[in-house]
Homo-oligomer: A and B are copies of this chain.
Amino acid sequence: MDKLLNDLLAIVGPSGVLLGDDVSQRSVDWFTGAPCRAKAIVRPRSTEQLSSVMAVCYQADQPVVTHGGMTGIVHGGVASPDEIVVSLELMNQIEEIDPVGSTIQVQAGVTLQRVQEAAQEIDMQFPLDLGARGSCTIGGNIATNAGGIRVIRYGMMRQQVLGLEAVLSDGTVVSSLNKMLKNNAGYDLKQLFIGSEGTLGIVTRAVLRLQPHMPSEQTALVAVPSFDALTQLLNLVSRELANSLSAFEALWNNHYKLMTTESGKHAPVLADDSPFYAIIETLGLDEAEDAERFSQVLQKALEADLITDAVLASSQAQRQSIWAIREDIEALVSELKPMFSYDVSLPIPSMEAYVDILEENLKTQWPQAGKMVVFGHLGDGNLHIMITVRDDRPDSRRQVEQLVYSPLKAFGGSISAEHGIGLEKKDYLSVSRTSEEIALMKRLKTALDPKCLLNPGKVIALD
C-alpha cells in the first residue's frame, strides 16, 4: 500500500477507508449503474479528520472527488483510478435544532428527508423538496444548489442556507456557521461553495433556515388547452394565490400520456387528450378558507377558458396519486431506456417555441426512434426533457445534446436549471455563459484550488 493510503488510514482508521471490491461495488451513476473506479473511498467522521485528509492529499498532489448521496445525474461523482473519493456518509448528524431561531445545524452527510423529519418533529418544515429526498444529502443539495418542486415559494437550496463550513483543497477549514438571517460583515463566502459542485471546497456542515409548518395543503391536476393558456394560468394563480402558491408543475401531453395511458403505470386522473396539464399546489394555514379560495380561483380559470378540466385532491391518497404522475422518474426511465435526460431553463415566453423547434428537429433526425417527453417547474422557467432515440451510442448522445442545447443561446436559456454541470454538460457551458464569465470562473477556481485537486475536470476545464 502506498504512503498516501497509509497516511489516510492513520487519520480515519481502517473502517474509514474502502478499497477494492468495496469501491467497485458502488455505483457513480444511478441511471446506468456504472461502478466507482476510484483508488479508494475515504470516509471522514469529522471536519477535523477531513481537514487532515485534505492536507495529506494536498501534499501528495492527490485529486479528490466528493460523494454525497449520489443521486445527481450529470456525472459529478465519476472518479478515475488515480482519484480518491471522499464520502461524507459518516458525517450525518443533526447537531442542533432551534425552534426560537428557526434554524437547524447539520453535518453534510445527513439526508434531506431526515432534516425534513426533524423539522416536522418541532412543528416546522424544511421546505426544499425533491424526489430523491430519501437518498440525497444536504451536502449534495448545497454543492449542487438543488431546486425541486417548491422553488417558486421558498427558493432553491441557496436560499435555505444561513451558515456553512467547508474544507478547502489544502485542508483549511472555513467555518461560517452563521445563524442569522442577516450578516453583511464582509464577503458572503458561503455563496462560493453553494452550487459549485465540490470544485472550490468540500461542504462539511451547514446551518439551515426552517419555515413555519403549513397544515393546509391544496393540490389540483388541471387540463390546459394551450401554452398561452398555461402562462395565463400561471399568472392568474401567482396573483390570486400569491400568499400560498407553492408549486406549479407543467406536464406536456407527451409526458402525461406516457405516464398514464401509454405505459399503464398511473391511472389517468383526467382524460389524456389535453395539450398540457398542470399540477397546482398551495400551502396554507386554514384548510376550509384555503380550499374555498383554491376552488374559486380554479373556477375563475375554468370560466376564462384557461383550463378545460380539473381534479382537486380530496385525500392524501389522491394527492399522492397526482404527484406520482410527476415524480415517477423510474417509470420514465423504463419506458424510454436508453434515455437521455436534460434540465434546461429559459424565459417562460420562449418555452413553447423552443420545445416546438426541438421536437421538429428530433422528428427530422430520428423519424422512427425519436421520442421526447417534457415536464417541469414552469413557474421557475425550468423544463425537464427526456429523450430517447433507442440507442445510447456516444455519437447519438452528442447529436441529441446538440439538438437540445444549440437553440438555447438564442432564447437566453441555460443548459442547467438545477442539475448542475458535472462532466456531462461541461462542453456546452459556452451556450449559457460568455467567455468573460467562464474566464472569471477559472480565475475563482485557480484562486481557491490552485493545484486543481477538487473534482478536477468537473464544471469547467482549466486547460
Contact = CB atoms under 8 A, between A and B. Distances in A.
Interface of A: 98-102, 144-145, 147, 151-152, 155-156, 158-159, 168, 172-176, 178-189, 191-192, 194-196, 200, 211-214, 231, 235, 238-240, 242-244, 283-285, 289, 345-349, 377, 379-382, 412-421, 425, 429, 432-434, 436-441, 443-444, 446-448, 459-460
B429 A181 contact: no
B436 A172 contact: yes
B345 A421 contact: no
Nearest to A102: B238
Nearest to A290: B243
B182 A285 contact: no
10 contacts: A98-B349, A102-B238, A174-B434, A175-B434, A178-B412, A182-B414, A184-B421, A185-B416, A242-B285, A243-B285
Nearest to A283: B243
A447 B346 CA distance: 31
Contacts of A377: 182
Nearest to A460: B186
Given A434-B175, A436-B172, A346 B186 contact: no
Contact of A345 (B145, B173, B182, B284): B182
Contact of A189 (B174, B240, B440): B440
Contacts of A98: 347, 349
Contact of A348 (B100, B200, B235, B243): B100
Contact of A447 (B178, B242, B443): B443
A304 to B, nearest CB: 16
